[in-house]
Amino acid sequence: MKPTAKTPTVAYLRVSTDKQADRGLSLEAQEAKVRQYADLFELDLVDIAVDAGVSAKSIDRPALARALAMLESGAAKALLVVKLDRLTRSVRDLCDLVDRYFRDGDCALKSVSEQVDTSSAAGRMVLNVLSSVSQWEREAIGERTAAVMRHKVANGEYIGGHSRFGYKVASDGTALEPVADELAAMTRAKELRAQGMSLRAVAKALEAAGYRARNGRTFAAMQVARMVAA
C-alpha cells in the first residue's frame, strides 16, 4: 500500500509584546509546539509565517496575508496555530476566515492548544463554540471592569491618569485628596446654576470671585458644565 501523503501545512505565529514570552507564547515556544504537532500528526510543514510585535485587532498583517495566500494558491492545505487567539481575538474575523478558507473542508484550520481541526464538521462545530465562549468571556470581563471603575469614581477613588477637578493625587500616588479651592469653586458653581444662571454667567461669576481653572485661566462654559454635573 502507498503511504498516505502528508498534508502541506503553513504554521502561523504571532506575538504582540515581549511580555507574552512569560506565558509560554514566545515565538520560540510557538515554533516548538507547531513542529511537535506537525510531527505527531504527520503534517508536511512547508512554511512558518511570523508576525512579531503585531496586535490581533486586525487581520491585516503581512505574515498572515502570506499564509492565507498559500492556502488560496494550493501551496498549503492547512493553517496551523498554537492558539486561536494567535490568529485573531475577534469572533467576527474568525468567522470570516472560516467562511472564506475553511468552510468547505478543502483547507483546514488546526489549533494545538484547543485541539481544533476544521477538516471535519465536528471540528468546525467545536471551533464555533470555542470562539463564541471566548468572545463572551472578554465582554463579561470588560463589563465587570467598567462597573468597578464607575464605582471607584463615584466614591472619589483614584483610578489612574489625571485627577478630576476638586482632587489631586496624594503623595503616595495611590489615592486622591481634596483641593479646598477647587471644591469651593465647584460648590459655588452649583449654587449659581441652581439659581438659574447660564453656564457662561456662572463662569463670569467664578472669575469675579477669584476662582481659576488649574491652568490659571478663567473657566469655560464646558468646564462649568462638568463641575456642576460632578
**162-177: average pLDDT:** 76
Distance CA 93, CA 82 (A): 18
Q: Are 115 and 83 in contact (CB under 8 A)?
A: no
| Residue recorded with cell 486561536 | 84
pLDDT in tens, 188-230: 999 999 999 999 999 999 999 999 998 889 999 999 998 898 7
Residue from 165, 158, 177, 159 nearest 215 by CA: 165
Cell numbers standing for residue 185: 469653586
| Residues carrying CATH 3.40.50.1390, the chain | 7-139
Angle at 134 between CA 128 and CA 136, to 5 degrees: 105
Distance CA 189, CA 204 (A): 10
pLDDT at site 14: 94
- Band of residue 24 on the pLDDT scale cut at 50, 70, 90: low
Cell numbers standing for residue 38: 506537525
| Residue recorded with cell 467598567 | 146
Measuring CA to CA, how many Å separate 34 from each of 13, 29, 125, 174? 9, 9, 22, 44
Does 58 qualify as catalytic in the annotation?
Answer: no
Residue from 101, 92, 77, 83 nearest 128 by CA: 92
pLDDT at site 70: 97
Q: Is 189 helix (H, G, I), strand (E, B) or coil?
A: helix
Task: Point out the catalytic residue in the list 16, 26, 119, 134.
Answer: 16
Q: Are 127 and 116 in contact (CB under 8 A)?
A: yes
**pTM listed for this prediction:** 0.57
Distance CA 173, CA 40 (A): 53
pLDDT in tens, 74-101: 999 999 999 988 998 887 888 888 889 9
Architecture of the structural domain at 7-139:
3-Layer(aba) Sandwich (3.40)
pLDDT in tens, 106-129: 899 999 998 889 888 777 777 777
How many helices (H) and strands (E) are present in the chain, helices listed first? 8, 7
Cell numbers standing for residue 15: 506575538
pLDDT at site 22: 47
